[in-house]
Chains A and B, each alone.
Chain A
Amino acid sequence: MRTRVTESQEAGRQVCSVTGDLDLASVPVVREPLRLAAARSVPGPLVLDLTECQLLDSAGAGMIIGTIRRLANEGSTLIVVAPGGPVRRFLGQSGLDRLCSVVGSLPDTPVGSLAENGLDR
């Protein structure tokens, strides 16, 4: 399945949605749109919607970690939407769920920026 990235605004939040697999093959496709969405989302948070993402591995995780770092430098945070299945499991297995907030659905994303996130130092 081809990986696609779309950007939208939901309730004032910048949302970047990835459909398909997020691996070494698709990271080059997703990286730039995600970077732009991150820049536009400040003061944040940025929402990364992985509801329609079927596979996430460490290549995708590396890109997400880079995004979290850039957002943190701007005082912002990342919220990942992953309802269940292998992507949600991976967020736990890789420890990514402790670097950013993970919620089950888009409406669950907290409106506040930093409070719910593990990186509110």
Chain B
Amino acid sequence: MSERNGVANTVSVQETLDGHPGPVSRLAVRLEVPAKPEFLALARLVTTAAADLDPSFADDRVDDLRLAVSEAATNAMEAHREIGQEHPVVLQCQLDDEGIRVEITDRARGFDPAGLPELPDVTDPRRLHHERGLGLALIKGVTDDFALTTGAVGTSVRFLVRSRPIRTDLLGVEADLPGAGVDEDRTDDPD
């Protein structure tokens, strides 16, 4: 299905069991949304609803996912708006045993990641003059396995949000969880 008048778009959902029976649905979702801010809520809703299919997803991790999707989709939509790109922004996510993998792709002109202005520390009064530029840093901070590809044909942001926190360096609070700091992420394996 193709985009018409910026309204009709595709949602496809595939359940991919592929020999991994278990409590967690394995799912792939592809969503094309017009590059209009009013569709941000839909992008957040679809991805967090997918994560909610896994009952072991921690609430905080769903919040992290919601924020990361909001930031990445916002950047993609703004990039399209800046150049008048009428194609939709593409959001794909895949739910698996580890968590949810998200990819958000735009068809804007890319940017130089090294050229992003470095934000002054929040304790620096000059920080108040920067109202933008927070998004990518936030995504990196709340997700696992962040990756960015950008070039003349567009930008793709990929990240994983694990269903349970295993990183201890994000917010400090996870450091007290049992099993945190163990150099293995397979503590849930039955064998």
CB distance from A66 to the nearest CB of B (A): 5
In the docked arrangement, what's the CA distance between A118 and B131, Å? Answer: 18
Complex contact A24–B128 (CB within 8 A) = no
B141: Cβ under 8 A from any A Cβ: yes
A65: Cβ under 8 A from any B Cβ: yes
Contacts of A55 in B (CB 8 A): 44, 66-67, 70
In the docked arrangement, what's the CA distance between A57 and B37, Å? Answer: 13
Given contacts A24-B74, A95-B127, A119-B125, 16 further A-B contacts (CB under 8 A): A23-B41, A23-B74, A24-B78, A25-B41, A55-B66, A57-B67, A57-B71, A57-B74, A58-B71, A58-B134, A61-B134, A65-B128, A65-B131, A72-B128, A99-B127, A121-B125
In the docked arrangement, what's the CA distance between A24 and B40, Å? Answer: 8
Residue of A nearest to B128 (CB): A69
In the docked arrangement, what's the CA distance between A37 and B177, Å? Answer: 42
CB distance from A32 to the nearest CB of B (A): 16
**Contact string, A44-72, partner B, CB cutoff 8 A, digits 1/0?**
00000000000101110111011011001
B12: Cβ under 8 A from any A Cβ: no
Taking Cβ atoms with an 8 Å cutoff, the residues of B that contact A are 37-38, 40-41, 44, 60, 63, 66-67, 70-71, 74, 77-78, 121-123, 125, 127-132, 134-135, 138, 141-142, 171
Complex contact B40–A90 (CB within 8 A) = no
In the docked arrangement, what's the CA distance between A36 and B185, Å? Answer: 51
Counting residue pairs across A and B whose Cβ atoms lie within 8 Å, the total is: 76
What is the interface of chain B mostly: helix, strand, loop, or mixed?
A: helix
Contacts of B129 in A (CB 8 A): 69
Instruction: Choose among A57, A63, A90 the residue that contacts B131 (Cβ–Cβ < 8 A).
Output: A63
- Known interface pairs A25-B38, A55-B44, A72-B128. Does A86 touch B63 (Cβ–Cβ under 8 Å)? yes
**Using a Cβ–Cβ cut-off of 8 Å, how many residues does chain A contribute to the interface with B?**
31
In the docked arrangement, what's the CA distance between A35 and B41, Å? Answer: 25
Query: Can you list 12 A-B contacts with CB-CB less than 8 angstroms, sorted by A residue number?
Result: A24-B37, A55-B66, A55-B67, A57-B74, A57-B135, A58-B71, A58-B74, A62-B131, A72-B128, A93-B142, A95-B121, A99-B128
Complex contact B74–A92 (CB within 8 A) = no
CB distance from A90 to the nearest CB of B (A): 7
Q: Which of A24, A72, A89, A121 has the most CB of B within 10 A?
A: A24
